[in-house]
Amino acid sequence: MHTPIAQRSKLPHVGTTIFTVIGQLAAKHQAINLSQGAPNFPCSEALVRYAHEAMQAGHNQYAPMSGLPALRQAIVDKVEALYGQRYDVDSEVTVMASASEALFSAVTALVHEGDEVIVFEPAFDSYIPMIELQGATPVVIKLSAPEFAIPWDDVAARITPRTRMILLNTPHNPTGTVLSAADVARLEAITEGTDIVVLSDEVYEHVVFDGELHHSMSRHPRLAARSVVVTSFGKTFHVTGWRVGYCLAPQALMDEIRKVHQFAMFAADTPMQYALARLMAEPEHYLGLSAFYQQKRDVLVDALAASPLQLIPSRGSFFLLASFAHLSDESDSSFVQRLITQHGVATIPVSAFYRDGTDQRVIRLSFAKDEATLRAGAERLCRI
Ligand code: GLN
């Protein structure tokens, strides 16, 4: 429909998210889909039953703005058991309508116009637009294949009086890296004595491989005191479509975040919160998740042994990176397009996670898929 209304985009450089673009192309070509980080296998039957029972019991109206008390209690108990930090159940945890909403609410509440936010690329594609929507400046620090290590000296050098926030993600999407104890020590030293908030996207907190430790900010008291920790039930319980996540923060930060959350969403879905609170009482679901996904990672890595792709080790998350730099000069986007149209397998070009399209000829494969899909996708990738 034509509109006579003149308008000015707030995000003039942003197009449709890569996950939608590739998803549609994959569907059109009936490609095996190793692109989106979303399980193609079912969640626990009990979880569905719990949600159904909550609906049947009449829990179909608004939940409390901050989240169902039983769920908040389950969250703070889990966080204390795993990471040692005790968050106040009433004032320091908020259930959100997805981790995305939590990140968005935190940035909106805490970042002012003219502030600077340090963000590392490759970055999940929502981060920089979220910052720009506040009239703030993303200060981008690029990480390079194959290590994607954080250059902490550069971080220290880029801090100014305007630096309001450092946005981190561990385990990392798309690279599969995890923060180490040394990274955390540098972060702690660099932020000491400043008013910098650490916004820590930890949606893959339970997906860390080879016995490594997840360095949640809530494991490190001095960092926890300046951090907003965001995580997701979708990733943990195989229900990415439920859109329920949460964030943790000291009360002074959380008070501000809730002011945004209450007007953006007010509350997350009620029956889902009842169901998740019940499943949280069965810790084996999240305690076993690293082993569950490590097995999937290994199936994919083994099945790709005969492919010409050069794999970059994945230490956590749902993702494995693969380089084709030695195979072709084409851009990662055209390589991905060719894999879909000619070979019937969908992946994500890593340039999509760089604002300026930095192309290192690396693609991202998701192993959050059943074994048959992983094997079938890998078989096709062996024939490229
Ligand atoms: N986080 C998932 C991924 O990186 C899905 C993102 C999305 O589809 N918005 O693949």
Question: Residue 354: inside a domain, yes or no?
Answer: yes
Domain match, 71 and 100 both:
yes
Q: Is 21 in the pocket of ligand 1 (CB under 6 A)?
A: no
> 23: Cβ below 6 Å to ligand 1?
no
- pLDDT band, residue 133 (cuts 50/70/90): very high
Q: Using the mean position of ligand 1's atoms as its centre, give its distance from the Cα of residue 302 in Å.
A: 24
Closest ligand 1 atom to 124 CA: 4
Q: 257 with 322, same domain? A: no
Give the pLDDT confidence of 309-338 residue by residue, as tens digits.
999 999 999 999 999 999 999 999 999 999
Single residue among 260, 285, 310 that ends a domain in this structure: 285
The answer to whether residues 336 and 243 belong to one domain is: no
Residue 30 shares a structural domain with residue 123: no
Residues 271 and 334 in one domain: no
Does any domain span residue 366?
yes
- Is there a domain that residue 331 lies in? yes
Question: Is the Cβ atom of 37 under 6 angstroms away from ligand 1?
Answer: yes
Question: pLDDT value at position 195?
Answer: 98
| Residue ID of nearest Cα to ligand 1 atom 2 | 37
Q: Is 152 in the pocket of ligand 1 (CB under 6 A)?
A: no
State the DSSP string of 339-360: HHHHH-EE-EEGGGGSTT----
Give me the domain span that covers residue 307: 18-43+287-381
Distance 16 CA to ligand 1 centre (A): 13
Let me know whether 33 and 117 are in one domain. no
Which residue of 19, 21, 33, 243 sits with most ligand 1 atoms within 8 Å of its CB, as the best mutation to test the pocket?
Answer: 19
**pLDDT tens figures, 172-183:** 999 999 999 999
Q: What was the pLDDT predicted at 217?
A: 98
* Pocket residue to mutate for ligand 1, from 36, 172, 175, most atoms within 8 A of Cβ: 36
Q: Which of the listed residues 285, 316, 345 is the one where a domain comes to its end? A: 285
Task: Check pocket membership of 36 for ligand 1, CB cut-off 6 A.
Answer: yes
Give a yes or no: residue 6 inside a domain. Answer: no
Check residue 54 and give its pLDDT. 98
Tell which atom from ligand 1 comes closest to the C-alpha of 174: 4
Q: Note whether 210 and 315 are within 8 A (CB).
A: yes
178 and 327 assigned to the same domain = no
| Average pLDDT of the residues in 128-153 | 97
Is any atom of ligand 1 closer than 6 Å to the C-beta of 19?
Answer: yes
Cα gap 67→268, rounded to integer Å = 7
Please tell me the residue having the least CA distance from ligand 1 atom 8. Answer: 19
Same domain, 81 and 207: yes
Q: Which residue has a Cα nearest atom 7 of ligand 1? A: 19
Centre of ligand 1 from the C-alpha of residue 37, in Å: 5
pLDDT of residue 206: 98
Cβ(351) to ligand 1 under 6 A? no
pLDDT in tens, 23-66: 999 999 999 999 999 999 999 999 999 999 999 999 999 999 99
- Mark 317-347 as b/e (b = at least 16 C-beta within 10 Å): bbbbbbbbeeeeeeebbebbbebbeebbbbb
Total domains in the chain come to: 2
Task: Give DSSP secondary structure letters for 92-145.
Answer: SEEEESSHHHHHHHHHHHH--TT-EEEEEES--TTHHHHHHTTT-EEEEEE--T
Residues 373 and 273 in one domain: no
Both 274 and 336 in one domain: the answer is no
Give me the half-sphere count of Cα atoms (radius 13 Å) on the Cβ side of residue 333: 10
- The residues, ordered by sequence, that sit 6+ positions from 286 with a Cβ below 8 Å of its Cβ are 78, 206, 236, 237
333 C-beta closer than 6 A to ligand 1: no
Q: How confident is the model at residue 165 (pLDDT cuts 50, 70, 90)?
A: very high
Mean pLDDT score of the chain: 97
Residue 240 DSSP class: G
Q: What CATH number corresponds to the domain at position 129?
A: 3.40.640.10
33 lines ligand 1 (CB under 6 A): no
| Nearest Cα residue to atom 1 of ligand 1 | 37
Identify whether 9 is part of a domain.
no
Residue nearest to atom 4 of ligand 1 (CA): 37
Q: What is the CATH number of the domain that holds 292?
A: 3.90.1150.10
d(CA 52, CA 272): 9
Co-location of 329 and 371 in the same domain? yes
Residue 186, CB half-sphere, CA atoms under 13 Å: how many? 14
Same domain, 49 and 30: no
In a domain, 10, yes or no: no
What pLDDT score does 333 carry?
96
Instruction: Write down which residue in 270, 285, 300 finishes a domain.
Output: 285
Identify whether 151 is part of a domain: yes
Q: Is the CB of 171 under 6 A from ligand 1?
A: no
Task: Kindly give the distance from the C-alpha atom of residue 294 to the centroid of ligand 1, in angstroms, as a whole number.
Answer: 19
- Domain presence at residue 349: yes
